[in-house]
Amino acid sequence: MKTRNFTFILLSAALFASCGGSSETKTETVKAAQKVRVEEVKFVDVDQLASFTASIEAEAVNNIAPAMPGRIRRINVDVGSVVGRGQALVTMDGATYSQQQTQVATLKTDYERYKELYAVGGISQQQLDQVKAQLDVAQAALSNLGENTTLTSPISGVVTARNFDPGDVATGLPILTIQNIRTVKVKVNVSESYYRNVVKGMPAKVQIDALGDEVFEGKVALIHPTLDAVSHTFPVEIEVKNSDSRIRPGMFARVTMNFGTESHPVIPDMAVLKQSGTNTRYVFVENGGKVTYTIVELGRRMDDKYEIVSGLKSGDKVVVNGNANLIDGAEVEVVQ
C-alpha cells in the first residue's frame, strides 16, 4: 500500500513539473512589438546631376618638324618656353636653300632676257611661257625650302617636348611639340543613357584633383557622333578657359553635369540599409503595425538624405529609427 502511494506522489509531481515548464516556455516566446520611428515619403524636385572622370588635353597641339630629314643648326627655345605664333623656333642646315636661291636668281635673269627677245619677235610666246613656268616651279620650291629651313610656330603656346639638340639629324620624332593651353579640353566618356540630354553649349563644372576643391566653369564644345560598343559611352569635349595656365594637360579631372530636375522621393539616410554581401539597398515600409522589406534604387546623396529613384511612392511610411533588427512582416509599434 505504501509503495502505491509513493508511486502516485512521484507521478503527480512529474505531471505538475511538466505543466509548469510548458507554461513558462510559452511566456518566454511572446515578444513585445519593436518600437520604431517612421517618416512619410514626400516627393521633391531634385537636380539630376551626374559625375564622370575625365582627362585634360590642350586645345591645340603642334609638332615642329621639317618636311624631310635634315641637320639641325640651332634651336631657339626649350621645354617650358612660351612662344608666339610665327616665332622662329628652329634653324635647319641651309645649303639646299642657298642652292635653290641661286637657281631662282638665274631663272629670273633668263626670264627677263626672254621677255626682251619676245618683245622684238626673237622668240615665241610658247618659249616665254616655258621659262616662266620653270621660274614659278623654282620659286615654289624655294618657298617650301624656306619654311623647312627656318621652322616657325603656327600657334601661340608653350613648348612641352624637345627631342633633339643642335647638330642632330632630325628623323622620325618631331624636334619640338607646342601646345596651346590658354583653353583646355576636358574629355569625358558619358553613359549612353544621357545621349539625348547632352547638347552643345550646356554648362559643366570641372574639379581638378591636383588643384583641390576649386570648381572651374566649362561648356560642352564637341559631342562625338558615335558610341563605344563595349563601354556604351560617347566622348564629350568640354572647353574650360585657362588664362593663368594652372590647368595642365594630363591632369585628372571630375566633371559634373546637370540634366535638369525630376520629382523623386527624398528620405533620411538612416532609413536605407545594405543587404549583406550585395550592393542591394532596402528600406522597411510600415503599414498597419507591420513592416515590409522594400528594395530601393538610390540616386544622389544630399547631406544626410538620399534621393530614391525607384521603390517608393508618395505616402509610404519608411522606418527611420529602430530598423536594425527588423525582418519582413515583423510587428512594430510606431513612436514619435
Q: From 146, 145, 147, 135, select the one nearest 103 (Cα to Cα).
A: 135
Residue 20 in this model has a pLDDT that exceeds 60: no
Domain 51-58+182-260 has CATH 2.40.30.170: yes
Residue 11 in this model has a pLDDT that exceeds 80: no
Q: From 90, 87, 88, select the one nearest 73 (Cα to Cα).
A: 90
How is 99-134 classified by DSSP, letter by letter? HHHHHHHHHHHHHHHHHHHHHTTSS-HHHHHHHHHH
**Chain segment 190-212, per-residue pLDDT in tens:** 999 899 999 999 999 999 999 99
Reported CATH class of domain 34-46+262-334: mainly beta
Between strands 252-268 and 88-92, the pairing is unpaired
Q: From 317, 332, 322, select the one nearest 39 (Cα to Cα).
A: 317
Q: Average pLDDT of the chain? A: 89
CA distance 207 to 203: 14
Q: Cβ distance 251 to 56 under 8 Å?
A: yes
Q: Which of residues 262 and 83 earns the better pLDDT score?
A: 83
Residue range 35-52: average pLDDT? Answer: 90
Residue range 244-255: average pLDDT? Answer: 93
Q: Cβ distance 281 to 295 under 8 Å?
A: yes
What is the helix (H) or strand (E) element at residue 203, kind and residue range? strand 203-208
Residue 118 in this model has a pLDDT that exceeds 80: yes
- Buried b or exposed e, range 234-256, using 16+ CB within 10 angstroms: bebbbbbebeeeebbbebebbbe
**Chain segment 289-310, per-residue pLDDT in tens:** 999 999 999 988 888 999 999 9
- Residue count of the chain, please give it: 336
Residue range 32-41: average pLDDT? Answer: 90
Residue partners of 292: CB distance under 8 A and separation at least 6: 284, 285, 328, 329
Residue 247 in this model has a pLDDT that exceeds 60: yes
**Confidence at residue 48, expressed as pLDDT on a 0 to 100 scale:** 87
Residue 91 in this model has a pLDDT that exceeds 60: yes
Residue range 259-273: average pLDDT? Answer: 91
The number of beta carbons lying within 10 Å of the beta carbon of residue 309 is 16
Residue range 171-185: average pLDDT? Answer: 94
Residue 17 in this model has a pLDDT that exceeds 50: no
pTM exceeds 0.85: no
**Confidence at residue 303, expressed as pLDDT on a 0 to 100 scale:** 87
Residue 22 in this model has a pLDDT that exceeds 50: no
Residue 183 in this model has a pLDDT that exceeds 60: yes
